[in-house]
Amino acid sequence: MFHAEQAPGDLLDWSLDYRPWLNGATATSSSWTVTPAVGMTLANPTLVDGVATIFVSSDQPGQIFVVKNTITTPTDIVSEWVEFYISG
């Protein structure tokens, strides 16, 4: 599981490189879904050339939020859980 840390109120962009899992399969932003945790704000999700980027924010210090990212290709479904820690 990928782990990221940021301060309360920060709106930071985070990227995950899915290319190793995609094995050359084509994936677009429409094939990518993000399931946020309650208390988080997610904005501007993009998927370009297998790299998924999203802006994350929360004003709740001391919390760990888990976000599920799923990419669906014509032959496979790739999921990755991402853990965001909002420091206090």
- pLDDT tens-place string over residues 29-48: 567 777 777 888 888 888 88
Count of domains forming the chain: 1
8: Cα separation from own chain's centroid: 18
Q: Count Cα neighbours of 41 within 13 Å in the Cβ-side half-sphere.
A: 10
Does the global pTM surpass 0.75?
Answer: no
23: Cα separation from own chain's centroid: 19
Q: CA 33 to CA 62: how far, in whole Å?
A: 26
Range of the domain at 40: 2-86
- pLDDT tens, position by position, 46-83: 888 888 888 888 888 888 888 887 887 777 777 777 77
DSSP line for 9-49: T--EEEEEE-HHHHTT----GGGEEEEPPTT-EEEEEEEET
CATH of the domain at 7: 2.60.40.10
